[in-house]
Amino acid sequence: MATVKWGLIGASNIAREWMIGAMRETGGEVVAVMSGDAGRARAFADANGILGATDSVERLLGDFGVDAVYISSTNEKHRDQAIASARAGKHILAEKPLALSLEDAIAMRDAARQAGVVMGTNHHLRNSGAHRVMRAAIKDGLIGRPLAARVFHAVYLPENLQGWRIDNPGAGGGVVLDIAVHDADTLRFVLDDDPVEVTAMTQNSGMAGAGLADAVMTSVRFRSGLIAQTHDAFTARFAGTGFEVHGTLGSLIGRDCMSQSAKGTITLVTADGARQLPWEPANLYVRAVDAFHKAIAGEGAPAATAEDGLHSLAFGLAVLESAGNGRAVVIRESF
Ligand code: NDP
């Protein structure tokens, strides 16, 4: 497989903390970074051992021999950056939420299709061994027919991330597009089912401003009839995370597993008792980039595709609509 040359669109925390390392660990090369500010681009490049730096998307796409872009700018920028990248013939790994509207996200997917480039969405949690072992256990019938799921994803937003997420609606801030979209993707992956209807309530406890929610609870119905509940927050310091699926023959109890790190425990509880299911603790982002490199080489698909990103965005937008009007909202299922 030829070395994939990556261009970073967005001098972001997630690129620095997880993605640059994942690209290098899987044989990729990070050749340039683009930031809206030339000084920030240069400083980010120097701090992360990247040669190229620019404040122009066009130059990132044209001047550095880039094969693929990783888009981790603030959310309102994803659309135009992805479409420009597709038109330049670059493969695209885009952060969630793909965009701020379904129309924009569909336009991104369509541009990639038209250009014949690979497009993926960086939903990391489906790459966790913990969630993979849950999915396999359900497929193997270990809990019978899944009836209900519960997702606990209320965390405390670290001080260094308390920027646009809590004060900029125009950038797609707020807990719903930040965290609840991950719940939707993880539920879809573990259950192999799609959400069709949601009722939601949001909260603003004072951390977020500008009318943005810093916590949300949802009740969701899936196509199979399964019902689920989710709780996401920026404000819960000590809640811990979890993911449970309850079936006719047993329950899967995941603890501490809604994480960027490969951690957590999965316990299977049935009439025979309780036992922990072992799983392989591989880096979630390394798995994402490895699958993306393989997809570029024509082997399989990205871990989460553009369509997966459309589904999670559809869920997030339906949650916001329901929280706004107090009614159950039907979630769009096909794009
Ligand atoms: P950051 O706030 O770190 O970066 C987003 C943008 O903000 C950057 O592209 C940069 O713009 C600007 N920025 C960052 N730091 C500064 C600064 N000190 N001064 C001025 N501007 C700054 O965002 P995140 O890394 O937290 O998130 C980026 C994207 O990734 C979002 O879409 C988010 O939803 C997603 N994300 C996904 C995760 C996952 O696990 N899949 C986890 C975390 C985030 P510029 O490039 O123009 O300089």
CA-nearest residue for atom 6, ligand 1, is 73
Tell me the CA–centroid distance for residue 158 and ligand 1, in Å: 13
Contact 16 CB / ligand 1 (< 6 Å): no
Confidence of residue 1 (pLDDT cuts 50, 70, 90): confident
CA-nearest residue for atom 44, ligand 1, is 14
Q: Taking all residues of the chain, what is their mean pLDDT, rounded to a whole number?
A: 98
pLDDT, mean of residues 17-42: 98
pLDDT, mean of residues 107-119: 98
Nearest atom, ligand 1, residue 284 CA: 40
Tell me if domain 5-124 and domain 125-282+314-330 are identical in fold.
Answer: no
pLDDT, mean of residues 83-97: 98
CA-nearest residue for atom 45, ligand 1, is 35
- The domain locations on the chain are 5-124, 125-282+314-330
Contact 10 CB / ligand 1 (< 6 Å): yes
Beta carbons within 10 angstroms of residue 241's beta carbon = 20
Candidates 3.40.630.30, 3.40.50.720, 2.70.70.10, 3.40.640.10; CATH matching 5-124:
3.40.50.720
Tell me the CA–centroid distance for residue 161 and ligand 1, in Å: 8
Nearest atom, ligand 1, residue 40 CA: 48
pLDDT at residue 39 in the model: 98
pLDDT at residue 98 in the model: 98
Query: Which tens digits make up the pLDDT trace of 255-305?
Result: 999 999 999 999 999 999 999 999 999 999 999 999 999 999 999 999 999
Tell me the backbone φ, ψ of residue 202, rounded to 5 degrees: -105, 165
- The pLDDT > 90 percentage for the chain reads 99
b/e 62-97 (16+ beta carbons within 10 angstroms → b)? eebebbbbbbbbbbbbbbebbbbbbebebbbbbbbb
pLDDT at position 242 over 80: yes
Tell me the CA–centroid distance for residue 140 and ligand 1, in Å: 39
| Alpha helix segments (H runs only) across the chain | 13-14, 20-25, 38-47, 57-63, 78-87, 102-115, 129-139, 164-167, 175, 181-191, 284-296, 306-325
pLDDT, mean of residues 50-57: 98
Counting ligand 1 atoms within 8 A of each CB, the residue from 8, 9, 13 with the most, and so the one to mutate, is: 13
- The pLDDT > 70 percentage for the chain reads 100
3-state secondary structure of 270: strand
Confidence of residue 52 (pLDDT cuts 50, 70, 90): very high
Query: Which tens digits make up the pLDDT trace of 194-236?
Result: 999 999 999 999 999 989 999 999 999 999 999 999 999 999 9
The CATH architecture annotation of domain 125-282+314-330 reads 2-Layer Sandwich (3.30)
**What pTM was estimated for this model as a whole?**
0.98
pLDDT, mean of residues 311-317: 98
Whole-angstrom Cα distance, residue 115 to residue 87?
6
pLDDT at residue 210 in the model: 87
Whole-angstrom Cα distance, residue 244 to residue 265?
11
Confidence of residue 5 (pLDDT cuts 50, 70, 90): very high
